[in-house]
Amino acid sequence: MECGKKQSAFTLIELLIVVVILGIIAAIVVPQFSIATDDARLSTLRTNLSTVRAQLQLYKLEHQDKFPTDNTTFAAQLTAKTDVAGVAGTDYGPYLMMIPENPFTGTRDITATKVDAGGANKSAWYYLATDTRLIRANDTEAHHNDW
């Protein structure tokens, strides 16, 4: 290097200012992605519930005005061919290829027991043929209670 030429570089202060600004931007943007993820899960949950409920109505129409009997045979009755009594047969169905996944629990299982206060039951769906809503998301989140 020749004497008298000045090298240009960033100072430590300038670098710290850039890092702080990037941190502030990240703090603003990251929560927005989290909210969008929850909104997408909620939308998926509503779509899945709508699909299953529509197929339950079709099942009822074709099975002498009766819904699937209980949660232990629910999946089999909706995903396989059945006769008019709802047992294995060749007359009706299948209504679903598979039971959809609950995007909040990541599972597909069905229970007849609502989630307890401690949230111990993390099954995907709550089904009871005598319930007027038929199938609901089995979740402890407050915004799911209206389904």
For position 114, what pLDDT does the model report?
A: 65
Q: What is the pLDDT of residue 3?
A: 61
Give the pLDDT confidence score for residue 89 in this predicted structure.
82
Least confident among 7-11, 69-73, 85-89: 69-73
Q: What is the pTM of this model?
A: 0.68
Q: Nearest-5° angle of CA 19, CA 21, CA 28?
A: 120
The three-class DSSP label of residue 75 is: helix
Domain boundary assignment for the chain: 13-144
Q: What is the pLDDT of residue 58?
A: 92
Q: Is the pLDDT of residue 138 over 80?
A: no
Whole-number average pLDDT of the chain? 80
Burial class of residue 129 in the structure, from the number of CB atoms within 10 Å of its CB (0-12 exposed, 13-18 middle, 19+ buried): middle
Instruction: Tell me the mean pLDDT in the region 63-92.
Output: 85
Going by their DSSP bridges, the two strands 135-137 and 125-127 should be labelled as: antiparallel
Q: Over the stretch 1-30, which tens digit does the pLDDT of each residue have?
A: 556 667 788 889 999 999 999 999 988 888
132 confidence band (pLDDT: 50, 70, 90)? low
Q: In what order do the strands lie in the sheet with 110-111?
A: 110-111, 125-127, 135-137
Highest-confidence segment of 7-11, 42-46, 86-90: 42-46
The distance from CA 25 to its chain's CA centroid, rounded to whole angstroms, is 30
Q: How confident is the model at residue 134 (pLDDT cuts 50, 70, 90)?
A: low
User: Residue 110: which H helix or E strand, with range?
Assistant: strand 110-111
